[in-house]
Amino acid sequence: MESILFLGYSNLVKTRILPIIHQAGFDEVAIAKYEGQMWDDAWQSCQVPVVRYDDYAEGLARFQGQLVYVSTVNSGHAFWARASLTAGFHTVIDKPATSTAAEAEELLSLARSKHLLLAESTVYLCHPQMAAVRQLFNDFEDAPKLMTVHFSMPPFKMDNFRYQRSLGGGAIMDTAPYAVSVGRFFFGTKPLSVDCIVTERQPDGLDIEYSLLMQYPCGRTLIGHFGFNTEYINRVQLMGNRTNVSLDRVFTIPDTLENTIRVRHMNEESVVTVPCGNNFLLYLKQIRQRIAAGAFEDAYAALLMDAEVKDAVLDSANPKE
């Protein structure tokens, strides 16, 4: 029997993962909530047996499977990932996997010592549209050299953890994982320089909107804007020497949407339609394959690179005097 434990009964787990978990090949689900949280009936959407625990420690102590998915508030990610790895479980962490690159290095060292998977759930990279964009540039014998990336939305309710520094909130912590991972996906390396301008802060100084410029080797650049105080935008545009590609709904996309990629090559316009896909289903299937093969290095490298670049964004946004 193959089972998975969720440390955190989050909205993401409730709405995006539990309804499709049976399709990912799991025979049983365990869920551990935080102590003060009340159970609702969302867990009943799961189509396999569910075991429930009333706190995270109990879940880890009693879980009999091999994979743990950490879906706590951001500030709890590293602590509970460390506890999961120490207990001998393969571990996936919601983005941002860690608060700092130093935490990432520590967790990766622990994972390697136990030959366990450690991965950050940047699930949008599994959607077929991402591979389709890469293939378009390959077919045109071109490559992206400039990306403009926008992922910004209207404000959340004020009790949302994203507005609380102590819980790992802030626009950079929440959205920089998208910026740094899309740069990694298309450019394949870390940027040479990172410049971040915070355009709006809360009274306590926590960032809620920012612009970003990252310079990569070989004259490549990523420019973006991210935050919690605009009309919704979720868009990436990529420019090569003779090719422009743009698409919406990159980072979050409905499972049933056949997305449209707009292409301009050698002054001719075209449209490519890509099939729908469930990011979380595709990602969990990939995780199971990695565990079965014992192939963890790509996941390790991606987690560390993204943590290091996110650190650079935070450092630029909050320069030391």
Q: What is the mean pLDDT of the chain?
A: 96
- Residue 59 is part of a domain; what is its CATH number? 3.40.50.720
Same domain, 219 and 269: yes
The pTM for the full model equals: 0.95
Same domain for 66 and 211, yes or no, is: no
Would the pLDDT of 185 be above 70? yes
Residue 237 lies in a domain: yes
The reply to whether 205 and 102 lie within a common domain is no
Give residue-wise pLDDT tens across range 241-300: 999 999 999 999 999 999 999 999 999 999 999 999 999 999 999 999 999 999 999 999
Residue 140 falls inside a structural domain: yes
Same domain, yes or no, for 115 and 144? no
Q: What is the pLDDT of residue 321?
A: 56
Looking at residue 212, its pLDDT comes to: 98
The answer on 134 and 270 residing in a single domain is: yes
Instruction: Please check whether residue 310 lies inside any domain of the structure.
Output: no
The answer on 273 and 215 residing in a single domain is yes
**Locus of tokens 């404000």:** 155
pLDDT of residue 1: 73
> 5 forms bridges with which residues in the sheet?
30, 68
Q: Quote the CA–CA distance of 239 and 242 in Å, as a whole number.
A: 8
- Residues 104, 135 within the same domain: no
Q: What pLDDT shows up at residue 320?
A: 77
- Look at 321 and 237; give whichever has higher pLDDT: 237
Domain that holds residue 200: 124-277
Does residue 312 fall inside a structural domain? no
Question: In this structure, are 290 and 243 located in the same domain?
Answer: no
Please report, for the domain that includes residue 193, its CATH number: 3.30.360.10
Per the domain annotation, does 214 fall within a domain?
Answer: yes
How many domains is the chain partitioned into structurally?
A: 2
Domain shared by 90 and 147, yes or no: no
Q: For residue 304, what are its two tokens?
A: 């560390």
